[in-house]
Structure 1
Amino acid sequence: MTYGIEQPFTQLYQEAFVSRALDPELKLPKWQRLAFLALGRHERNGHAVFEPGELARYLGTSDSETGEVIPASAKVVDNAIRDAIKNDMLDPSSVAGCLIPPIDMVRANSGAGHYKTEYKPCPVHDVVSKAAKRARKASVVAARRRRSGAA
């Protein structure tokens, strides 16, 4: 899907994104960690599903004495999601239970062609309606216009 713009295509290793997102030595902003997790964990449907509290643990801090992970608050997680959306690194429909990379970064694969895998609906977003797909495509076009400086 190119939306009228031919783009070169390459494959990336998802595990590399997850590894960097969870590496405490890298001083990445929380929103960027979430963007990397979305890129590293998305399924063929374009959605990266997380268990309740999983993102809070990933964005949490370690107790310096015990090493125990102190989960981030729901507000910290929500702010990181909001910031990733604001930086065009997550789709606006992303929530703590499911992060979605922007549609212009990831080509979702329904299992057609070379990959014969079953398409899995998102348990958080369920079946995406045609109206939601149109809105998502419009958000991609708007994001491209913002980046190019067009109004």
Structure 2
Amino acid sequence: MHTLVDQWNSEILVLPEIQREYVWDDARASRLIESLLLNIPIPVVYFAETPDAKYEVIDGHQRIRSIVRFLKNQFRLRSLAVLTEYNGKHYFELPEREQRFLTMRSIRAVIIGSDSHPNMKFEIFGAPEYRIHCPERSRVKELPLSRNIEPAFASTSRGL
């Protein structure tokens, strides 16, 4: 996750226009950090590679920002259910072992290559199995009809 923070700070990871701003409160972000500390798998994040070698965050923005914010000591953990001894602590106040564990932790990511069809990055929002499991679908901005992705799929059988 150390690389994730570096890429966010270096603006290698960018938000496409469809993404909303960060909306998670500290309690929800804390529960994500607790899951990471407990080595509980978290959902995959999706990136779309841009022609200028950046990566648009297609899904996972709230999770990524929560991780970055915590590793930058921008909030204290709260409302933890299992690791209650860490409530009220910033990242730098955690035991060194836990800090190291977090920075070395990997998260699963899918990268949609820049050579993929331009609408491919929106396919994950249209897949039936994704509709059921996507916690961040409600976080996507509503765009004007002219920018709506649904018409882009209307002319083909699979949207590709």
User: Structure 1 length as normaliser, TM-score?
Assistant: 0.27
TM, length-normalised to structure 2: 0.26
Greater helix proportion: 2
Q: Answer with 1 or 2: which has the greater Rg.
A: 2
Query: Structure 1 or 2: larger strand share?
Result: 2
Q: Higher relative contact order by CA 8 Å / sep ≥ 6: 1 or 2? A: 2
